[in-house]
Amino acid sequence: MGLQAYLTLAAVVFCIGLFGVMTRRNTIGILLGIELMLNSVNINLVAFARYSGDVTGMVFTLFTICITVAEAAVGLALVILLFRVRRTVTADHLDLLKG
Amino acid sequence: MSADVLAFWFLAIVLVGSALAVVLTKNLFHAVLWLALALTGTAGVFLLLDAEFLAAVQLLLYAGGIVTIVVFAIVVTERLVGERLSQTSRRIGGGAVVAGGVLALLLNAMRGQPFPAARPEMAGDLTRLIGETVLTRFVLPFELLAVLMLAALMGAIYFARPDE
Q: What is the DSSP letter of A24?
A: B
Interchain proximity B103–A9, CB inside 8 Å? no
* Closest CA in chain A for residue B37: A36
DSSP B77-105: HHHHH---SB--B--HHHHHHHHHHHHHH
> Which CATH number applies to B1-96?
1.20.120.1200
pLDDT of residue A9: 94
Interchain proximity B141–A70, CB inside 8 Å? no
User: For chain B, what's the residue count?
Assistant: 164
pLDDT tens digits, B9-51: 999 999 999 999 999 888 888 888 999 999 999 999 999 988 8
Give all domains of chain A, ordered by start, each with its CATH number.
Answer: 3-92 (1.10.287.3510)
pLDDT tens digits, A21-78: 998 888 888 899 999 999 999 999 999 998 888 888 899 999 999 898 888 888 888 8
Distance of CA A26 to the CA centre of its chain: 15
pLDDT of residue B83: 52
Chain A residues closer than 8 Å to B162 by CB: none
Domain boundaries, chain B: 1-96, 124-164
In this prediction the pTM is 0.88
